């Protein structure tokens, strides 16, 4: 069975976009791959975090992953910070990366282009830690959004560089971008990705939003003045975004959905999509509350951390041996 790995930072609350673009795919993939999913809390601190909020967000994130359908019997779920080998391999890979490569990475490049100050060294070098996250478990595939693909490409470059220099050590991963639902956009500015860092609360639907409030957000979503329901992201991004949300949650194909709404108005599309979102969130939050009340999270994390640590230690020993770090027999 091939291996797949992914992680998500516990900063802010998970959105509907996170579910459709990533978590839903994890649930589908867990029967097809050896899955490793980690909470990327080391990546979270590249910008300042409130410790209490970070702790609560981490618990919410784990509970929501499980509520969305991840099965700890099939998936290794763990905290990045509890597997110390990630940080150690991250430093080793930083020493095999070049400044120019890191300067071209989107997050750092965008922030410097905007003239932002207070950019940490961690924000500059975090792609090397991300490479360590991936290469540690010999991942064959890394499911990523379109905007994250360059991180996997950098990981491939670093792995090939290391392998060429020291001999075969790392498996070369492939990015896996979902074709449907890969990107859900802001409800108020449908040319921008739906983001958990969005300032306008009407633009984003959180997975822990009150279902009725989420339905209202759908009803107030920006569309256009054309009056035709069709999937055309370039010319009708708002309508296309609503169609994508509907299709992703209802599993009704986009073509069939568009055909069914011919001759109907935007209000009809919003009403039906809003109800689908309401039902989805209601069911999800019911499962979330059951998981929180069960107290199972600690045990699931302990088991996941132990398994990940065993695998990570084997890989790190191999890397250290290649580098000439092992002196004692």
**CA gap 245, 214 in Å, rounded:** 13
| 149 in catalytic set | no
For residue 164, report the phi and psi dihedrals to the nearest 5 degrees.
Answer: -65, -30
**CB of 257 closer than 8 Å to CB of 264:** no
pLDDT digit string, tens, across residues 207-237: 999 999 999 999 999 999 999 999 999 999 9
For residue 199, report the phi and psi dihedrals to the nearest 5 degrees.
Answer: -80, -35
| 111 in catalytic set | yes
The reported pTM is: 0.85
Mean pLDDT, range 130-159, rounded to an integer: 92
Q: Are strands 75-79 and 141-143 parallel, antiparallel or unpaired?
A: unpaired
Task: Kindly tell me if the per-residue pLDDT of 59 is higher than 60.
Answer: yes
Residue 178 confidence (pLDDT): 64
What is the average pLDDT value for the chain, to the nearest integer?
93
Which residue in the list 193, 217, 270, 315 is annotated as catalytic?
Answer: 193
Which residue in the list 59, 74, 111, 307 is annotated as catalytic?
Answer: 111
Domains, the chain, in order of start with CATH, read: 3-181+295-323 (3.40.50.620), 201-290 (1.10.240.10)
| 183 in catalytic set | no
Mean pLDDT, range 308-327, rounded to an integer: 95
**CA gap 281, 215 in Å, rounded:** 10
Query: CA-CA distances (angstroms) from residue 184 to 37, 130, 287, 299, 318?
Result: 22, 24, 24, 33, 40
Which residue in the list 59, 149, 183, 196 is annotated as catalytic?
Answer: 196
Query: CA-CA distances (angstroms) from residue 153 to 71, 88, 158, 246?
Result: 29, 21, 9, 32
């Amino acid at each position: 069975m091939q291996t797949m790995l992914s992680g998500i930072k516990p900063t802010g609350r998970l959105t509907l976009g996170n579910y459709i673009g990533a978590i839903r795919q994890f649930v589908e993939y867990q029967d097809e791959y050896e899955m490793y999913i980690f909470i990327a809390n080391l990546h979270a601190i590249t910008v300042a975090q409130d410790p209490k909020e970070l702790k609560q967000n981490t618990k919410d994130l784990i509970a929501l992953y499980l509520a969305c359908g991840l099965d700890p019997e099939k998936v290794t779920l763990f905290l990045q910070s509890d597997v110390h080998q990630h940080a150690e391999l991250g430093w080793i890979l930083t020493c095999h990366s070049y400044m120019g490569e890191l300067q071209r990475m989107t997050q750092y490049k965008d922030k410097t282009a905007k003239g932002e100050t207070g950019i940490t060294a961690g924000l500059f070098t975090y792609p090397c830690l991300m490479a360590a996250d991936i290469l540690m478990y010999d991942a064959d595939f890394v499911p990523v959004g379109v905007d994250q693909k360059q991180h996997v490409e950098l990981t491939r470059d670093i792995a090939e560089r290391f392998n060429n220099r020291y001999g075969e050590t790392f498996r070369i991963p492939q990015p896996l971008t979902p074709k449907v639902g890969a990107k859900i956009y802001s409800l108020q500015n449908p040319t921008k990705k739906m983001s958990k860092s969005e300032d306008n609360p009407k633009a984003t639907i959180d997975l822990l939003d009150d279902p009725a409030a989420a339905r209202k957000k759908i009803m107030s979503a920006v569309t256009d003045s054309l009056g035709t329901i069709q999937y055309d992201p370039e010319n009708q991004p708002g309508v296309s975004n609503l169609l994508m949300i509907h299709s992703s949650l209802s599993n009704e194909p986009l073509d069939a959905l568009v055909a069914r709404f011919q001759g109907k108005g935007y209000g009809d599309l919003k009403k039906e999509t809003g109800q689908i979102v309401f039902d989805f969130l209601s069911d999800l939050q019911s499962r979330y509350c059951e998981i929180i009340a069960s107290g199972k999270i600690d045990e699931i994390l302990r088991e996941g951390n132990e398994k990940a640590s065993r695998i990570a230690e084997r890989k790190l020993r191999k890397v250290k041996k290649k580098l000439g770090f092992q002196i004692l027999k």
